[in-house]
Chains A and B, each alone.
Chain A
Amino acid sequence: MHRLTGLDLDGWHDLAVRDTPHEGSEAEIDNAGEEPSHYVIDGGIGGIVVQFRDEEKKLTTDFMGGPQALASAIGRGEGWGEIGRKNRRHSVKELLISVLTNRQDDAMDADTLLRAAADALTSQTDEVIATIPDHSEIDDECQERLIKALRRRGLKVTLLWHPVAIVLHAIKEGILNEAHIDMPVLIVRHVTDGFHLQTLTLRRLQSHAGIIAPERADAGQHVVAQCGLSGLLAQAQNVLRAANHDFEFERHDDSRLPLRLLLDDVECEKVEILRSLNGLWSEIKPVPRQAFHPELTIPQLDWGKAKTVLLSTPLAAPFRHELKKVLEVASGKNVILMTLDAAARGAVIAGRRIESGIPHYLDRLEQVSLIILRNNEVVPEDLVPDNSVVAANREFVAHPVTLGWPARQRTMEFYLRKGGVFKKWITADVDPADDIQAVEVQLRQMPAQGRARVGITSRDWDILRSRPIHLDWSTLEPVDLSFEEIAEKLKPRPVVPERVTARAHIIHWTGADRLLAFEPFILRCDPNNSSDLIQLGKMLQRQWPVPNEATIEDAPKYITTRLLDYDGQPPVGVNPDALAALDRVLAMIGKMIIDNCDPKKGFSDNNLSKVATWSFGRCPDGVQNAVLDAVKSHFTSRQHPLLAPRASSTLLIHGLGRIIIDPARLGEAIDLLLENWTKGNAIAALASLLSRPVATPQVLTIDRTHHIAIIAEQSLYDLLDKASYGNKLTYALRLIGGLLRSREVSPFELILSNSTEAARLHTALTSVHHEIEKHRKHIQRPERRLELIDGLLNLLEGTGGNAGILVDLDELDNIENDNSD
């Protein structure tokens, strides 16, 4: 016969009940058919766990709980010598609190100690049904921790709510019967600091005729009261001290008389022998029970609708009857006093019910929902429906929720809602599939046995079918978001292209083989010397390949680097002196340019403006204004000193695309270029301005976006007319890519389905795509071009695409056009 033990540990009076005789007993084991009798194992009052060293194996520590621990001298006091040291003794009460509240104490392993307490009462058994207090602080994690602490090899541990155990015993004893069906019953448990209250409703089981089971609607209530057991114990201690006023309590072991006075029915009036600190013996007289009148006052509470109250308390006989009376007066209800072993006996009944497949109680599970996107709407889908009452003897298996697992995605993010709190769940990595896969999310939960198990599996997708993903609750963090905010987050977002910036590399500064170092040069550079100026211009322009350190597959072996990036920032680790020198030189050049802009002076060559415009974002403000002015003059066919030298306009227009990074000038520059987009080089500069500065998305107003879209479309059609797909194509593509950066500000910008601009651009791009495919033989790098166009088409459709498209375009531009302007 399966050996089953009901365990009721509370640290005040621990009890276990088994319905099979123990091994040493002579009782017949095989009397099948009869109602098995219950054997009560008394764990003693004020349970403790002691630790001691095995004499034979010096390094191992043994733990002992239960009556043997109470009887032992271990940890009683200094009078016993080494073995009496008080830190060898741990109270079960404290251990329970440590385990349930997860209060970690390095000095002791609460799990191991508590296990010893349970072991002492549950040896020679195959399954333990342990009671667990029922109030709102006991959540799924508490249950798991308690199960973990009690579990040992070859032993199954099942938890049972304490009030449920009490009610099961009451049903067995006939205290609760058919007359109470569908009626609420209040269970009051007397605990350390007050009372635990829980109301259960009796139900007739649909599946099993004639059997009644309680239904649990919600977590119980914890009421703190003066007359909690610890309060009463303090009173008993005071009474004992008063009665033995000449006894030296400090010089002796702790007396157990107060505990006995309060809780022990039998041995409360026995003389106690205590050992003094010097190892001798003394006697202490107990207080007669009649002389102790504990203060039992019960706070005013909402006692609910229940007519019947079951009271469970470890108090000794006179006091528990007193408590019953007090409770009757306070609640005005019929109070039934349950025996001490009621919970442990109820646990055995529950165990036998579980064994024979009869629900021992009905539990109401907490609603758990998964927030998912269904038909483009974010909806909560219930894994555990609200108000689901389930039989607690079986695992509750929820209806699976079917989802699509996106193609090429390693992990998925879910939001779970449990008890009104949202939690974010990022699944573990899996090998992604090439297509979208149907997966099922399913929840299983054994009521009151810890957290639910949530798994994702799939019928068709091998990887998940063979190795389903399981949810680890301990990794979930609550998210402080409303449902609307989560819904907003979950909606799929179109990809936003990243801006382009050059890579600045220290090698330009420190120099290398065949690469002149910039640092020594700039330190001695004199901008008045024209050869230095030319040299500086060259160095600012130059590009140098550096081995790529990225380890991604298919990454190019070399990457192109520059002295400064497009924002004008130097690489990390630059000598600050050199940087200061550069700034000084640039300032001097800026000053020279502004001075020379005086119509009386003028420029004889482009050297100064070359240096200024190739310093990217580092270009002095004054020069930026001057260049802007000059370009304006150029477009309006006016004179400007900067325009005097040969080929200066190309340099200045391209330069404009390089140097402007602040939002105010950016808007101005973009507007200027838009007005004159048909003029030479304007589109190139525009493309740079759209794809490079950080500030671009901020200045892309609706008007500008619209305007740019038209220009881009127009230039695409121009290309089609001319059948030329070189530089100009790249510029147009960069325009479109740059436009899409406006999604940084408003994420759903320029999507095919809701924007006419996007639709027109899409059409134009598709035509270009066809043309290139048709004439691919006459076109440079057709594959690369088609790929990039595809990428942009995807981005416009909003279904995906490559965020690095601008970088790719910029690279293509760099490769094909050495930018030697």
Chain B
Amino acid sequence: MKTDKVLLEILNNRFSAIVNEMGYVVYRTGFTVFVKETQDYGVGLVAPTGELFAYPQEVGVANMLGMPMEDAIAAIPTYQPGDVIITNDPYTTGGMCTHLPDIHLFKPLFYQGELICFAWDFIHSSDVGGLVPGSIAPSAYDIYQEGLVIPPRKLYKAGELQQDLLDLILANCRIPEQNWGDLKALLAALNTAERRLNEVIERYGVETVKQGIDDLLGYGEESSRAIIAQIPDGTYTFADYVEGDVTTRIPLRIKLALSVQGSDMHLDFTGTDPQIRAAFNVPTFGKTHHWLTVGLVTFLRTKNPAIPLNKGILRPVRTTVPQGTLLNPQPPASCGIRYATAIRVIDVTFGALSQAVNDVVPAAGAGQVAIVLISMPDYHSGGYKVSVLQPMQGGSGGRPGKDGIDGGDFSAGFLRNIPTEMLEADIPILVQKYMFPNDTIPAGQFRGGLGVDFQFQVFTPHAIVTARGMERHRFRPWGRQGGSAGTLARTRVNPGTERERDIGIIDILKLEPQDVVHIMTPCGGGYGDPLRRDPEKVLKDVQDEFISLETAETEYGVVIRQERVDAEQTEKLRQQLRAKRDQLKPFDLGIEREEYERLWPPIVQDHLSTLLLELPATLRSYFRARIWKDMTTDPRYKEQPPSYEDLLSCIQSIQQEMEQIMPGESS
């Protein structure tokens, strides 16, 4: 490192000032409401190598530090001052973009004719065309249904707007003026960056700045290595499922083997299920990609809150993802809801990491964020009223030394809810409940964070509820080190009445006047042995009516008499319970997943994914669905799961069948 350790921090601060300022320019001048509510936009400064070297701490999407930009940069043969490149295409940018609504811009920044770096920003546009308003449909089976695809092209050439390109883009969106407004906000931020970078160069010199960019990335790497080196060498494996594919309802497995050697880390996602014909694929190109490293970056930032925010911190990390899988799909796989899958990647990262370190990594949290929308006819205008009901997430997992967070998890903890008073003023519904459930807290020495119960009633005909991102209706968030698994999400209509229906994951839910909808989000898993929980905390949870007296005794072995912990009786009861119970589970995966994996053991899933990799990527999900159905319904496999040979012969018979029905083709 050539830059001294004082100047490095000064440059780090100066670059942070630039990206924060960019962020606020977008925030203040962006058009779309969505931008302000969810801060779904991003900004940064990118080294010529394609690595982000400055990234804001407090504005915009906070977790895209790992974004790979080298392919997008290489897609343009030559750059001149004043160029601005536009793109939203995952497949020609090597996974820089990951779904079409994110419109990215970047601008080469020159100093006296020399390219120094790039300024980059993006915004989640509320519509880029495609099947549905908003451009995100879970059932979209290829990217062309998800909107207009824009490969990297110059929107400005040497400062001149390419009106033809802009017209073409705007003609393909449902909200052209808003999108152009948002693009202007992005352009303003790029110009801010250009002006400010110039000031830094004039203050500190061009060579210093160039060297500083290099060294900041090196500084990131060094800081990160210092943390990784503390993790014991070894390979830590974990897997979990994505449930939201409403087209097949087959759970999709994400598998990770995380290896550490010295200060190097390897993330190997081999064994992850094939890409599917629904919008859950994550185009990463198998790189050390932002959506594969959110959990890891969160871990690094927890261990060192002052770690420099640049992609250097991911330099020690190598990644393997087989092609044609959910996490490395081939075009034209759809990817609108890739964040549902990315959240599960966070869970498997924590599942693997928590086997290696025991100080900060939590049990599984809610692992979902459902954006629930309601639409109903607007009797005044004749159109529709559409409103987000609430972002529904759930609680975090219990943590080493701390209870889980009630009502919020790390993967979408940046979202804000909507005041009930505004909701009810906007649409004719009555919110009956927006609070924590009673007596459902997953137990642990450090209990899981609580999910939220949301219950509302509709009064008008033709009300429709849709949702994207609903998960964890089938498999619970896992508990850790003796802590219980979390609770399942649940969606019911008219609970407690004769007309009660369990809906599961909402696709499209049509309601009758007076119907009541009850959505429960998951509580996170507990952490640690409940019999070691501080009895006073148990007492407090009883007094606050989070848990019952009975639960205090059965789950925690805490005896409470007249609002006091009876220490003697508690000790006695705890001893009894300890003697009676089985060994503590390092992971409590929940009975549903245990049952599923008895039928469909991880080793069989491994075999199947190996076998499927032999097939063309576009056929795999078809084969997988066929085999999954055959195997899970075949009574032969109820007792004895299928062997490698069973799977192989099943695949071969499907292949034969296909050959037979396809005249003229030969294998």
- Do A and B interact? no
